[in-house]
Amino acid sequence: MKLQPAKGALRLATAAIAVSSLMGSGIVFAQNDNADSQNSDSSKQDNTSQSTDLVQLQKDPSNWTMWSGQYNGQRYSELDQINAENAGQLSPAWTFSTGVLRGHEGGPLVIGDTMYISTPFPNKVFALDLETHAIKWKYEPTQNPQVIPIMCCDTVNRGLAYGDGKIFLQQADTTLVALDQKTGKVEWKSVNGDPTKGESATNAPIVIKDKVYTGISGGEFGVRGHLTAYNVSDGKMAWRAYSTGPDDTMLIDPKKTMNAVTQKPVGADTSLKSWGGDQWKIGGGTTWGWMTYDPELDLLYYGTGNPGTWNPTQRPGDNKYSMTIFARDPDTGEAKWLYQMTPHDEWDYDGVNEKILVDQKIDGKDRKLVVHFDRNGFAYTQDRATGELLVAKKYDPAVNWASGIDMKTGRPKLVDEYSTDGKVDQNVTGICPAALGSKDQQPASYSPKTGLFYVPTNHVCMDYEPSKVDYTAGQPYVGSTVAMYPGPQDIVNPTKEFEGKRMGTFIAFDATTGEIKWSVPERFSVWSGALATAGDVVFYGTLEGYLKAIDAKTGKELYSFKTPSGIIGNVNTWKYDGKQYVGVLSGIGGWAGIGMAAGLTDPNAGLGAVGGYKDLKNYTQLGGVLTVFTLPDSVAKKAHTSEKVASK
Amino acid sequence: MTPTRQTIAVTLVALATWSLSSTVLAADDAPIVNDYSNMGAEYNPSGDSQSSDKSAAENTSDSSKETDSKQAAANTGADGKPYKVECADGKCKVSEDVMVGYEKFGSHCSQCHAQNAEGSTFAPSLVQRLKGMDQGRFTAAVAGGVTRLDSTTGQYSVMPAWANNEDVMNHVQQIWAFLKARSDGELPAGRPQQMDDKS
């Protein structure tokens, strides 16, 4: 939401008394950012920090070194000890409670013999010993609780980054912290924004070479989004690229930065010209999504969120560059190419979803592609060197706000009935997808073996009533009332029967043609990040709390286990001491938890009637727990593995 | 526990929290504060942006409607209830203040308390909380917010303060009317319809 977890803003308290004095600086630091060093057993061989070269390290499937395993965002692992034949014999090996309620997005990092996890606010970090499962160290920042309500839709944190012997945590209050990988000691902290202006943070940072990159949340508070690079060594800002405004502040070179659709330079001040007056200063375009990187092309990919208020009538123009995919030079920040998916957004279809880098053939030719499943319900396949738009197709047949994408102009072909522009105080009904998007932050995966994307999706529609809103710093800047309900029941090649109304679908998708291959119907939105493996097993979690393993070819369910709480985290995998493990954080919450925990009303069943499906709260309760799965030793030994022998 | 006592307790906790955290800045822990100036634009929107905003939206704001609804709010039902709800055949019609309350609740409160005020993983059900809550306490909570450290979970529960938000404070009566109708069980979940006459 911007109700998205945390694009938030701050509500300055009122009686501004205590609060304003407190938050005046916007930064409150903890008194004891104590890294309790517990039993850090140095006798254990730490095979990790030798390699400072992340490009190499990420290729070792024993590790899970960044949010998606590797820079390419594929969330694919070469490990194949767990395969489609034996996955049915998986069972939980160990668990760990984070002690934090609220929504647990993101997933564990594994480097050598240590796992690193972070929690929602207050953003604890734990380093866990994979041998003993004991806590090696923990870090708990003290943050001003007044940042909580500006993270409007839950205090999620999407996980950590690793590089150069440091673990990076992006705190909710926008402070970026570097912790010593071995001890948890604070190496430096850098302040990236100001919560009194509605700025907060939920994203996972990413490390490339000597810099660490982070984003900002607050799309519902009139924040002007930016991507910022800090030096890994000392935390000083290296560059910052805003999402809106004058070219120089956006690191756009009007003569060199390419418009992906026209394949021509964008020209001067295209952002400024697409806004009325000074509105770009509260123009949104926040950067709370995942980032990916291509080491060969040396390009960093990410997207920007919704423009200013949700009331489109109030902000005429294309509102550039909200809702845009950017490819940037990670050293200088300069934008190489850009493409705006949803000009002049009218539905809150943030463009932040992960940009997955794959090499596939299109029309018989090998292409370097970037594929992303946008909130707006279209899957975009582009050449990742130039941005050239190759395929743009709906990945949920329910999508109705646009009939398609005009491949010449790159613009959506809008359907008047579902436009919310010029309709202040009118309730526009039946828009699909809902503001949650056909997919939100939950990252998809890709298997180079099958050539398919595995995409966790929402199947939810909405009524949207825009209203006039005034901007006040630190106050929500939304201007819309949204009511959400399950989408229509059409489904492409379902893998099984489903009774009742579904709100989610887990699909296999061919991005070279834009076709849905098969669909697993799910009762609720699938809000968990997927994992694909060389064992031809695909994993994901459900809001009810099931961790599921399915066959990568057919979608047939191989294994399912009910974890302690709903899953909105990402499923990750690693290898330790000869065995493959799969781990996921449970902990219901996030926008999905907020939007659905109380049950959605069914517009077709008459006023007030609640549809014939049970509330999410009948399935799960709050609670952050990590669950780790593996095969019984006997089964693991028998598994024939073709893995390249890892360095372990 | 009476509502009043609870309020006091909440306030005390909130104050305690604040004073606690205000001692928290340890000098040796000073963060790097980068220089974000010279980036072409003020970090913070200028007054201009608000005026340009206003002009862009001038024709959309309907101030007469607001006045109307304030009057409607004063017209509480004869039974002393702040709302009027008439249901027949599963469809409910409501007085204008309830309708306005529904809309304002939808735009400012529903992202935490859920569309139908039944609560979420983030904030409590107001359908429940309003039972036994008087309007004074409601208005105070909305204006001042609530910051509470839950001692059993060790976690903060924070309700933002709305005193600086005109759109909320100008309609706090209507939001109350809507929530009261929900809490009293007279208005089912979902989007109501407005009564034709404004009696």
* Contact across the interface for B32 and A190, Cβ inside 8 Å: yes
Q: Alpha-carbon distance A333 to A227, whole Å?
A: 9
* Ligand-binding site membership of A620 (annotated): no
Q: pLDDT tier at B115 (50, 70, 90 boundaries)?
A: confident
Write a three-state SS string for A248-312.
Answer: HHHCCCCCCCEECCCCEECCCCCCHHHCCCCHHHHCECCCCCCCEEECCCCEEEEECCCECCCCH
**CA A131 vs CA A65, A570, A576: distances in Å:** 18, 22, 9
* Contact across the interface for A150 and B103, Cβ inside 8 Å: no
- In chain A, which residues have their Cβ closer than 8 Å to the Cβ of B120? 593-595, 597-598
Instruction: Determine the length of chain B.
Output: 199
Q: Searching chain B, which residue's CA lies closest to the CA of residue A6?
A: B111
pLDDT value of residue A26: 33
> How far does the CA of residue B171 sit from the closest CA of chain A (Å)?
14
- Is A599 an 8 Å CB contact of chain B? yes
SS3 B67: helix
- The pLDDT tens digits for A330-374 are 999 999 999 999 999 999 999 999 999 999 999 999 999 999 999
Q: How far apart are the first and last CA of chain B?
A: 39
Q: Which listed residue (A80, A247, A348, A510) is catalytic?
A: A348
Q: pLDDT tier at B154 (50, 70, 90 boundaries)?
A: confident
Q: Alpha-carbon distance A235 to A213, whole Å?
A: 11
Cβ atoms of A221 and B13 within 8 Å: the answer is no
* Contact across the interface for A606 and B33, Cβ inside 8 Å: no
pLDDT value of residue B197: 58
pLDDT value of residue B19: 32
| β-sheet bridge partners, residue B94 | B85, B194
pLDDT value of residue B30: 66
* Ligand-binding site membership of A465 (annotated): no
pLDDT value of residue A20: 33
**CA B64 vs CA B34, B70, B74, B167: distances in Å:** 47, 10, 16, 15
**CA A420 vs CA A339, A347, A465: distances in Å:** 23, 7, 7
Q: Alpha-carbon distance B48 to B5, whole Å?
A: 45
Cβ atoms of A189 and A201 within 8 Å: the answer is no
* Ligand-binding site membership of A41 (annotated): no
Q: Which residues of chain A have pLDDT under 70?
A: 1-52, 152-153, 594-615, 640-648
Cβ atoms of A362 and A343 within 8 Å: the answer is no
Nearest CA to A70 out of A287, A293, A236 is that of A293
Q: Searching chain A, which residue's CA lies closest to the CA of residue B50?
A: A471
Is A348 one of the catalytic residues?
A: yes
Q: Which two tokens stand for residue A255?
A: 């003569």
Q: Which of A1, A14, A153 sits opposite B145 (nearest CB)?
A: A14
Angle, alpha carbons A131-A132-A135 (nearest 5°): 115
Alpha carbon of residue A433 to chain centroid? 18
* Contact across the interface for A465 and B103, Cβ inside 8 Å: yes
> How far does the CA of residue B56 sit from the closest CA of chain A (Å)?
6
pLDDT at B24 over 50: no
- Of A135 and B107, the structure prediction assigns the larger pLDDT to A135
Mean pLDDT confidence for B58-86? 54
* Ligand-binding site membership of A544 (annotated): no
Q: Searching chain B, which residue's CA lies closest to the CA of residue A154?
A: B122
A vs B, Cβ pairs < 8 A, gives 276
Q: A499-534 in b/e burial notation, b at 16+ Cβ within 10 A?
A: eebbbbbbbbbbbbebbbbbbbbbbbbbbbbbbbbb
Nearest CA to A428 out of A437, A436, A419 is that of A419
Interface test with B, best of A234, A468, A596 (most B CBs within 10 A): A468
The backbone torsions φ and ψ at residue B14, rounded to the nearest 5 degrees and listed phi first, read -60, -45
Q: Which of B29, B34, B166 sits opposite A33 (nearest CB)?
A: B29
Q: Which two tokens stand for residue A441?
A: 């932050």
Per CATH, the number for B30-194 is 1.10.760.10
Q: Searching chain B, which residue's CA lies closest to the CA of residue A603?
A: B190
What is the complex's ipTM, to 2 decimals? 0.75
Cβ atoms of A231 and A323 within 8 Å: the answer is no
> How far does the CA of residue B79 sit from the closest CA of chain A (Å)?
24
pLDDT at B64 over 50: no
Alpha helices in A66-115 (DSSP H): none
- In chain B, which residues have their Cβ closer than 8 Å to the Cβ of A469? 107, 167
**In this structure, are strands A428-431 and A460-466 parallel, antiparallel, or unpaired?**
antiparallel
| β-sheet bridge partners, residue A389 | A382
Q: Which fold has domain A6-638?
A: Methanol Dehydrogenase; Chain A (2.140.10)
Domain ranges of chain B: 30-194
Q: Which of B23, B121, B163 sits opposite A593 (nearest CB)?
A: B121
pLDDT value of residue B111: 82
| Whole-number CA gyration radius for chain A | 23
pLDDT value of residue B190: 82
Percentage above 90 pLDDT, chain B? 34
Residues 6+ apart with CB under 8 A from A367: A359, A360, A361, A383, A390
Scanning A557-586 for CB atoms below 8 A from B yields none
Q: Which of A175, A224, A472 sits opposite B165 (nearest CB)?
A: A472
Q: Alpha-carbon distance B123 to B128, whole Å?
A: 12
Interface test with B, best of A3, A101, A146, A236 (most B CBs within 10 A): A146
* Contact across the interface for A608 and B190, Cβ inside 8 Å: yes
Interface test with A, best of B19, B122, B172 (most A CBs within 10 A): B122
**In this structure, are strands A335-340 and A258-259 parallel, antiparallel, or unpaired?**
parallel
> How far does the CA of residue B49 sit from the closest CA of chain A (Å)?
5
* Contact across the interface for B43 and A194, Cβ inside 8 Å: yes
Q: Which of B53, B91, B158 sits opposite A279 (nearest CB)?
A: B53
